[in-house]
């Protein structure tokens, strides 16, 4: 499905974090719908290095790109020489900046700021020099402890959310300066869908719960999960928002969600219904009190108005669309590697 009337054929598109969840889905969107587009993926593919919390330093995985036939470059977004090489060797029309440290529990604040904030401004300068429209990943984590999910009411409660607020502040600075490109930041809410599996423990609870159920296990929920509400958004709607952001009525920062909060209890109920398996539920204490959002619900009025965005998937529709891939992953990545 094409989401706007821009012809991306013959255009050169940079996707940072292109071996990750959202970046790889963008790559295949362009490859499928605009086979003559020139897609350049820049990603620091995973190795065994971890942060102090045990999480991998990179989630980029070659399996997310199986079938991709564009250009793949392995590199670190913090490497100014690598960015200069990109700037000198290509002429980009669009830049989709998805690369980031996205684990909200990472404690290394210095690396978080360098990667998410400073590298973004360096890449933004490349976009300006090339006249390339910039679309980048912000996050609902910017809202943190806020009780109002509208741009301007951010209240981050971890270093990741703070870093995304700083990215948004850089965006406002350049928009105010009157740059000749459009700059759009998209505050993703809880994204789920194909190609997220290789995010390991930071993959959505939808795929994690599903695989617990398929293993015959009882899914474990935090106590009070019927009252822990999030705005869960299917990957296809995230791609829709990114494509619409290529030609916005107005540069700026926009929420990307469904506008409808749902509970983790709902997820398990829907999954067990779709899978035809009822393993009951087990409730455990929540160890993340103080750094955990108990409610998120995107106000999407502005993105509807300025980007023409309209979510196509509610939670039931998104999970139903995801089930075949969940089953395939379980068979290939879990059953076959026992």
For the annotated catalytic residues, the residue numbers are: 160, 199
Q: Point out which residues pair with 232 in neighbouring strands.
A: 190
Q: Nearest to residue 16, comparing CAs of 69, 104, 82, 103?
A: 82
- Find out whether 213 and 271 touch, Cβ atoms under 8 Å: yes
Dihedral sign, Cα of residue 51, residue 95, residue 246, residue 70: negative
Number of other CB atoms surrounding residue 243 within 10 Å: 24
Place of tokens 């999480």: 55
Backbone dihedral angles phi then psi of residue 134, each to the nearest 5 degrees: -110, 125
Number of other CB atoms surrounding residue 313 within 10 Å: 20
Q: Is 236 exposed, middle or buried (0-12, 13-18, 19+ CB in 10 A)?
A: buried
- What does the block give as tokens for 10? 């013959």
């Amino acid at each position: 499905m094409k989401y706007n009337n821009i012809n991306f054929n013959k255009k050169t598109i940079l996707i940072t974090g292109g071996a990750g969840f959202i970046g790889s889905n963008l790559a295949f969107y362009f490859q499928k719908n605009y086979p003559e587009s020139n897609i350049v993926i820049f990603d620091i593919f995973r190795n065994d290095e971890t942060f102090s919390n045990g999480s991998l330093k990179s989630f980029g995985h070659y399996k997310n790109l199986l079938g991709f036939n564009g250009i793949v470059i392995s590199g670190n977004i913090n490497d100014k020489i690598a960015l200069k090489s990109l700037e000198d060797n290509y002429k980009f029309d669009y830049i989709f900046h998805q690369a980031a440290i996205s684990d909200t529990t990472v404690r290394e604040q210095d690396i978080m700021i360098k990667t998410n904030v400073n590298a973004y401004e360096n890449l933004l300068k490349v976009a300006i020099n090339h006249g390339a429209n910039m679309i980048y990943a912000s996050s609902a984590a910017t809202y943190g402890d806020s009780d109002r999910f509208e741009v301007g009411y951010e209240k981050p409660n971890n270093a990741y959310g703070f870093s995304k607020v700083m990215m948004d502040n850089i965006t406002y600075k350049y928009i105010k300066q009157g740059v000749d490109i459009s700059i759009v930041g998209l505050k993703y809410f809880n994204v789920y869908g194909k190609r997220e599996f290789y995010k390991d423990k930071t993959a959505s609870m939808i795929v994690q719960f599903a695989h617990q159920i398929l293993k015959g296990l009882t899914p474990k929920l935090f106590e009070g999960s019927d009252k822990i509400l999030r705005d869960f958004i299917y990957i296809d709607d995230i791609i829709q928002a990114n494509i619409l952001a290529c030609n916005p009525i107005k540069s700026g920062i926009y929420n990307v969600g469904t506008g409808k909060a749902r509970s983790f209890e709902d997820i398990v109920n829907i999954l067990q219904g779709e899978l035809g398996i009822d393993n009951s539920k087990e409730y455990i204490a929540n160890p993340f009190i103080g750094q955990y959002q108990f409610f998120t619900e995107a106000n999407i009025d502005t993105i509807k108005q300025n980007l023409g965005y309209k979510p196509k998937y509610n939670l039931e529709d998104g999970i139903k669309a995801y089930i075949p891939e969940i089953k395939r992953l379980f068979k290939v990545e879990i059953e076959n590697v026992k």
